[in-house]
């Protein structure tokens, strides 16, 4: 394993000069300014490499999968052709690890972005705020049928206690797009965006993922690219949208769709670790040879499929056990500290939610210390 750092390009509040001062071996970035579904040209890729100032571009996170592919629409063949061309252009520029996700409409979602915790601020997700949004702000048809009756009752009481500012905050966080997201919405356009998925079952959605992989993996294999699918974040349905990359069985199914080393996993310990029934050390052990990229993040779970993000070594995921399994890999896999508290001077600058400088530096230091200790123990 070797450490990397996610950087959002020239508009990132953290400069590449600050990133280059960190003890890392590569940068994780993407061309967020390019429209979803368009080809990433070699010229644009070279420009981003130039902006990295000699720092290696270790991982692309992400080349977005267009909704037309996810829905298997009439536009899918052209969109798949563009995706293949983007992979070919990346490979031609020497970039061969590409992360993607197959979450419909929304990328990672949070309802609150500044939940106070000792020593800093962090984020929270998937509690009664999300249910209240789905039931009473979005007013999704038949939404109550997706939840147990007692949870609907709790969410109803919660919504009645929310101030107008609370409701606006939750709505903004759900719709406006968090770092790495490729879309933002108003309430009306969001309703339009999720409408097609009322008619796509989880089984059909998984078939669409298989079609994507069958079309893309041969190109990736030919070009020497390692594709890595990021787990659903959160790993439960959100406003009725299907989730198919949330459990050990999901990952096993995906790897079997096109059984090739070019099709692999991004092991995100935060996303997968949000579910108590996911055995992270076991998953790392089982899928070790197909894990091409790692996000190390920790969470403190709470009732009603909710959680708060925690320090990298302080949550419900046993990071030492997970890393111990990952260190058995025969290849050097990139990892990045994923999310972090808002600490020190981070509070004085407009950093992206979860993507602070000092908070992630703390996580990086903790994880590198853990890695060094485990490696020394294994040698000893």
Order of all β-strands in the sheet with 306-310: 112-117, 120-125, 306-310, 298-302
Which string of b and e fits 82-121 if b means at least 16 CB within 10 Å? Answer: bbbebbbbbbebebbbbbbbbbbbbbbbbbbbeeebeebb
Q: What is the 3-state secondary structure (H, E, C) of the chain?
A: CEEEEECCCCCCCCCHHHHHCCCCCEEEECCCCCCCCCCCCHHHHHHHHHHCCCCCEEEEECCCCCHHHHCCCCCHHHHHHHHHHHHHHHHHCCCCEEEEECCCCCCCCCCEEEEEECCEEEEEECCHHHHHHHHHHCCCCCHHHHCCHHHHHHHHHHHHHCCHHHHHHHHHHHHCCCCCCCCCCCHHHHHHHHHHHHHCCHHHHHHHHHHHHHHHHHHHHHHCCEEEEECCCCCCCECCECCCCCCHHHHHHHHHHCCCCCEEEEEEHHHHHCCCCCCHHHHHHHCHHHEEEEEECEEEEECCCEEEEECCCCCCCCHHHHHHHHCCCCCCCEEEECCCCCCHHHHHCCCECCECCHHHHHHHHHHHHHHHHHHHHHHC
CA–CA distance from 187 to each of 27, 169, 192, 194, 227 (Å)? 35, 13, 9, 11, 33
Which string of b and e fits 199-226 if b means at least 16 CB within 10 Å? Answer: ebeeeebbebbebbbebbbebbbebebb
**Catalytic residue IDs:** 230, 268, 295, 338-339, 355
């Amino acid at each position: 394993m070797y450490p990397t750092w996610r950087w959002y390009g020239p508009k990132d509040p953290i400069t590449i000069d600050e990133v280059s001062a960190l003890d890392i071996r590569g940068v994780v970035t993407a061309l967020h300014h390019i429209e979803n579904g368009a080809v990433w040209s070699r010229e644009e890729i070279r420009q981003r490499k130039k902006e990295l100032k000699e720092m290696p571009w270790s991982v692309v996170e992400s080349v977005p999968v267009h909704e037309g592919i996810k829905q298997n629409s009439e536009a899918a063949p052209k969109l798949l052709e563009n995706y293949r061309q983007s992979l070919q252009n990346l490979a031609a520029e020497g970039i061969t690890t590409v992360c993607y996700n197959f979450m419909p409409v929304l990328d990672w979602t949070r309802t609150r972005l500044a939940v106070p915790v000792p020593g800093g601020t962090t984020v929270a997700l998937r509690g009664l705020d999300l249910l209240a949004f789905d039931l009473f702000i979005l007013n999704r048809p038949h939404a109550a049928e997706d939840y147990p009756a007692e949870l609907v009752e709790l969410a109803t009481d919660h919504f009645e206690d929310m101030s107008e500012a609370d409701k606006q905050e939750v709505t903004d966080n759900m719709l406006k797009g968090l770092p790495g997201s490729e879309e933002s919405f108003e309430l009306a356009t969001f309703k339009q965006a999720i409408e097609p998925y009322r008619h796509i079952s989880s089984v059909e959605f998984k078939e669409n993922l298989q079609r994507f992989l069958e079309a893309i993996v041969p190109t990736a294999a030919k070009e020497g690219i390692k594709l890595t699918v990021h787990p659903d974040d959160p790993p439960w349905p959100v406003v009725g949208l299907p989730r198919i990359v949330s459990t050990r069985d999901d990952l096993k199914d995906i790897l079997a769709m096109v059984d090739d080393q070019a099709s692999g996993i991004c092991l995100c310990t935060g996303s997968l670790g949000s579910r108590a029934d996911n055995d992270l050390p076991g998953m790392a052990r089982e899928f070790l040879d197909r894990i091409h990229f790692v996000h190390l993040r920790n969470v403190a779970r709470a009732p009603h499929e909710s959680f708060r993000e925690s320090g990298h070594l302080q949550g419900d995921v046993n990071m030492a056990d997970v890393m111990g399994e990952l260190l058995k890999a025969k290849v050097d896999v990139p990892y990045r500290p994923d999310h972090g508290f808002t600490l020190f001077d981070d509070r004085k600058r407009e950093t992206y939610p979860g993507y602070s400088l000092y908070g992630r530096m703390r996580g990086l230091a903790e994880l590198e210390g853990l890695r060094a200790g485990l490696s020394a123990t294994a040698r000893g």
